[in-house]
Structure 1
Amino acid sequence: MAKTTQILKGLLEGCILNVVNKHETYGYEICEKLLNYGFEEITEGSVYPILIRLEKKKLLYSIMKKSPLGPMRKYYYITDEGTKELEEFITSWNKIKKNIDNVLEE
């Protein structure tokens, strides 16, 4: 499990950018989506620091909005820089995946 977590650390930024790229969303919803995609080890404690880091890098921005269910929520949006970073992530991931698949299939 620790090995999986270590591998995921480098990949979660790209995954989160892709989730936010689809539509505005908030932290808890991002966690839920990642869990639904099969990332069983994902917790809010791992997602929120990544969101903060992505905002600091200007790949995401956020706006506080009223929630239909209670207190204000911080909704995240992808920036133009974030879209470029996501495209680079997808290209890099596809290359790495192909290389790893080649090694494992040998």
Structure 2
Amino acid sequence: MEPGGAEKAVSQLRRGVLEFCVLALLRDGERYGVEILRELGAVDALVTSEGTIYPLLSRLRKEHLVETVWRESPTGPPRRYYRLTTTGEKALADFSTEWRRFRDGVEYFLSPDGSVEE
């Protein structure tokens, strides 16, 4: 693997799953952008920036996977809160099923004995 190859692979993985991680965060209730950034940042492999998350949230809104509502903030300007739509719930459920299959397939090849732990 070329120098930096692992970092490039992790970056590509992050890009591929970030939207579903955001949808999963919203499954438990609505959040505003900074909350989403903070929660993603708590997981080392998912640290991202405002320059990534806000365009992603905008795209999810245009695709009707999330909807938004503006709410007053006790500490500043109003905040846009994001919540999962029914379409977003279905997309997340479909991805969850496929993710398990994908994860198990990768684990099969990465484990020395070809086993997949449950």
Taking structure 2 as the reference length, the TM-score comes to 0.84
Q: How many residues align?
A: 106
Identical aligned residues as a percent = 34
Which piece of structure 1 moves more, 43-52 or 73-82? 43-52
Q: Which has the higher helix share?
A: 1
Q: Determine if contact 1:64/1:75 at 8 Å carries over to the other structure.
A: yes
**1:55-70 alignment runs, 5 A limit:** 55-70=61-76
> Highest CA radius of gyration, 1 or 2?
2
Counterpart position of 2:10: 4
Q: Is the 8 A contact 1:35 1:42 kept in 2?
A: yes
The answer to whether the Cα contact below 8 Å between 2:19 and 2:56 also exists between their aligned partners in 1 is yes
Q: 2:38 aligns with which of 15, 32, 36?
A: 32
Q: Which amino acid aligns with 2:100?
A: N
Runs of 4+ in structure 1 deviating by more than 6 angstroms, as ranges, are none
Separation (CA, whole Å) in 1 of partners of 2:42 and 2:12: 20
Deviates more, 1:23-32 or 1:38-47: 38-47
RMSD: 1.2
Higher RCO (C-alpha under 8 Å, 6+ residues apart): 1
User: Shift in Å at residue 40 of structure 1?
Assistant: 5.3
Q: How much does 1:41 deviate?
A: 3.7
